[in-house]
Amino acid sequence: MISFTYKLYLVISEADCKGKNMIAVARQAIKGGVDIIQLREKNASVTEFTTKALQLKALADEYHIPLIINDNLMVAEHVNAAGIHVGNNDLPPAEIRREWNVANKIIGYSIEYIEQLHNEQMEAADYLGISPVFGTATKTDTVTEWGLEGITTIRQLTTKPLIAIGNMQLNNVKAVINAGADCIAVVSAICSASNPEKAAYDLKNEIIK
């Protein structure tokens, strides 16, 4: 099992950068304090996804931070990503562990139902995404809004690293950490910010203070 010490997790796509260059936004975010990145391209072809993943991998390598690929194991393997993030409707973590036979890869798994905490998929995962903590326009096909109480409940049921995602903002991240999350994952609070470096810097300071 890998050691997961990351605190600010950027989940990024070209579309979420709203016309800005995705690599430039990612670079600014890393400079501001993002310490792990996920490429989440829900509508790209495999070729487009791979091209973007290779660009982001080069950037992540430059700053020595892990690149995680959302959903697509083929792309993750092809670009030699640090890991993959999957949810309830994706390839299950235990299967990924068997197929991607490399011990040091990070597998993230979304928790949408409390019952998932007792299945073999969660055992195979390195971290759990609490998905979503609060409702968000960035992802609307969600099941449970966990809230702060949900984080506290899950914290009592597992020692796995917990990543909070869903409407994470400067004014709620400290409460989310205090409720038991280990790391904060954001899309729009950084990708849509007029100054992504400052947005990341402020979030990181709020998380670690």
Ligand X SMILES: Cc1ncc(COP(=O)(O)OP(=O)(O)O)c(N)n1
Summarize as ranges the residues that interact with ligand X (CB under 6 A): 9, 11, 38, 40, 70-71, 85-87, 90, 108, 110, 129, 131, 139, 163, 165, 185
Give dist(CA 106, CA 44) in Å, integer. 23
Determine the Cα angle at 68 with ends 21 and 115, to 5°.
125
Question: Judged by CB under 6 A, which stretch of 75-83, 101-109, 132-140, 143-151 contacts ligand TZP?
Answer: 132-140
163 binds, among ligand TZP, Mg ion, ligand X, none (CB under 5 to 8 A by kind): ligand X
Q: Does 121 bind ligand TZP (CB under 6 A)?
A: no
Question: Which residues in 127-142 are b (16+ Cβ under 10 Å) and which e?
Answer: bbbbbbbbebebbeee
Report the Cα–Cα distance between both ends of the chain, in Å, rounded. Answer: 27
Contact region with ligand TZP (CB under 6 A), list: 28-36, 175-183, 185-193, 200-208: 185-193
Kind of pairing between the strands at 183-186 and 36-39: unpaired
Element (H, E) at 96: helix 93-99
Residues that bind ligand TZP (CB under 6 A): 11, 131-132, 136, 138-139, 165-168, 186-189
- Positions touching Mg ion (CB under 5 A) are 71, 87, 90
List binding-site positions: 38-42, 70-71, 90, 110, 136-139, 187-188
